[in-house]
Chain A
């Protein structure tokens, strides 16, 4: 990658707070990252650690009661924090597009595929219907839907989950966005098509030269498609860095725990249960102190009662937030 990267999105200290009956929930507690054109950032972490809310916060689609704050959210060199809803609507669908986790329910049951694909183009790019249709057919081909023209007249319920997710991807690409956010786009799909869809996304991202934020559980895919990896736990980034660095030398015990969960070809016998990180994500209501992972961490000591003031930075942007010496985590790899 060249020295001067064309940064599409630069987020600093993003927080999301949601008032709930038990107090204030802090599902996202200050995370920072940036993605450049042509780059893929993968966000990984267990369910409930704030990944979806992070992506919704970027799109300006948080639930009504959620509050967002950040030092900056620069998108295409513009801070989008103070944009009015009307101005955000002019970015969404055009410059930034999102693919959701639930293809079965994310399309409107009452309208045809062509209607739903074309409307976003007609709204943002041009009111020429023939052009919109042409673009829809072109993209359906791109996402691997054969006989695109006959698919256009169909309704969502006539398509399988995998096809619907392909349609959602085509829809996200209709206006040629600079940033595409895919929030666990394959979690709801059959295992057999998960990899296909993720590979398709990676291919299209390169093809259209977009910045991509891919949220996924599939660490096997992450290893193949990510340029950068961000590991989230309880609303914070615990480790981030170039893909190879994070996979080769995980420095946070949570990261190494996650990596132990993926099957290793040749090492893991078929049917052998994979390792899991014992315990559950803590409740994030109220004031939170110290490392949130400490009660699940096999290396935790008294120092974990407080968090380090800043992440430990290594070469290449590899960084982690843990009081323990890096070799504690690597030791646990058994390597």
Chain B
């Protein structure tokens, strides 16, 4: 288990190194940062001065080294537009995004695990059809459209929920549902498929032959095994949720990182974009790593391979 963990951590570290390189070079290829900072009306001399001041005239490798070195010390420079430290802008908003992502994945799991399990216990029953319906809708509806529909129904017609901002927990209800619903179909189908397979397995027959109660057979012997891949997928989806938060936060004017990245992209605010991509990517890698380790812990066979 320890050797397996160390190996996975080393791989995660390599991935992060590659990601940071890509982040840096891609954002540099997309636009001339000196032009953005200096503004539309700037003269050639002004632009040249800006280029020198920010070190954009240096070899790209050197720029990358400096950037990465500072990033590791949690310094992403100042925002071109707001002229404020990027780290402050992000740390003030990351709580909102994490809360949204966490609530969304929790919502998805709370819906998909029981529903997937019930569907698996009685394939082709009413509950199975119902679960399928929910999954099909979840997959077919674009997130933004679903979010807008909720705003119209619950925010505008019935006025049950606030439609914009993030001051109270009520502000999180619709964004959570909109974002979480997006992850539900995949998680539910995996739960259902996993449960059907496990319920038909020999060890479940053994558990029943031992006269264990149906509850113990279902929860201890079946769900525990079926849930392993669902946990892994949920961690991956948590990463997707952060990506999806760009759309959702913009729609609900929820001022988290997603909203910030949308804003920064519109303004070509390079340091902000780089910081967000690197932080999200690192987060994603760490999540996948944790999911793997959790899997290895839950399924003792994995660490042997």
Chain A residues close to B by CB (< 8 Å): 59, 61, 85, 88-94, 97-98, 100, 102, 105-110, 119-120, 123-124, 155, 157, 168, 171
Contact = CB atoms under 8 A, between A and B. Distances in A.
A157 B304 contact: yes
A93 B211 contact: yes
Contacts of A89: 208, 211-214
Contacts of B206: 100, 106-108, 168, 171
A306 B300 CA distance: 57
A76 to B, nearest CB: 15
Given A92-B208, A97-B209, 4 more contacts: A61-B208, A105-B202, A108-B221, A155-B301
Contacts of A102: 202
Given A100-B202, A105-B201, A106-B205, A123 B301 contact: no
A120 B216 CA distance: 11
A157 B205 contact: no
Interface string B229-272: 00000000000000000000000000000000000000000000
B301 A93 contact: no
- The secondary-structure label for the interface of chain B is helix
Given A100-B202, A110-B300, A92 B209 contact: yes
A30 B158 CA distance: 66
Contacts of B207: 108
B224 interface: yes
Contacts of A109: 203, 225, 299-301
Interface of B: 201-203, 205-214, 216, 221, 224-225, 298-301, 304
Contacts of A171: 206, 210
A157 B300 contact: yes
A94 to B, nearest CB: 6
B210 A108 contact: no
A96 B205 CA distance: 14
5 contacts: A88-B211, A89-B211, A89-B213, A102-B202, A123-B211
Max chain A CB contacts within 10 Å: which of B202, B221, B298? B202
A96 B114 CA distance: 33
Nearest to A97: B209
B2 to A, nearest CB: 17
A110 B224 contact: yes
B131 to A, nearest CB: 19
Nearest to A90: B211
Contacts of B300: 109-110, 155, 157
Contacts of A97: 209-210
Contacts of A100: 202, 205-206, 209
A43 B301 CA distance: 36
Contacts of B216: 119, 123
B115 to A, nearest CB: 21
Contact of A123 (B201, B213, B214, B225): B213
Contacts of A157: 300-301, 304
A9 B206 CA distance: 21
B66 to A, nearest CB: 49
A250 B215 CA distance: 49
Contact of A94 (B203, B211, B298): B211
Given A61-B205, A105-B201, A119 B210 contact: yes
A139 to B, nearest CB: 14
B209 A110 contact: no
Contacts of A105: 201-203
B212 A93 contact: yes
A224 B177 CA distance: 68
Greatest chain A CB density within 10 A among B205, B206, B212, B216 is at B206
Lowest 5 A-B CB distances belong to which pairs? A93-B211, A92-B211, A93-B210, A105-B202, A108-B203
Contacts of A123: 210-213, 216
Which of B211, B214, B298: most chain A CB closer than 10 A?
B211
Contact of A110 (B202, B211, B214, B299): B299
A106 B224 CA distance: 16
Contacts of A94: 211
Nearest to B206: A106
Nearest to B122: A64
A61 B217 CA distance: 14
A168 B205 CA distance: 13
A159 B109 CA distance: 35
A120 B211 contact: yes
Nearest to A63: B200
Given A109-B225, A110-B224, A110-B225, A124 B211 contact: yes
Contact of A61 (B209, B225, B304): B209
Nearest to A101: B202
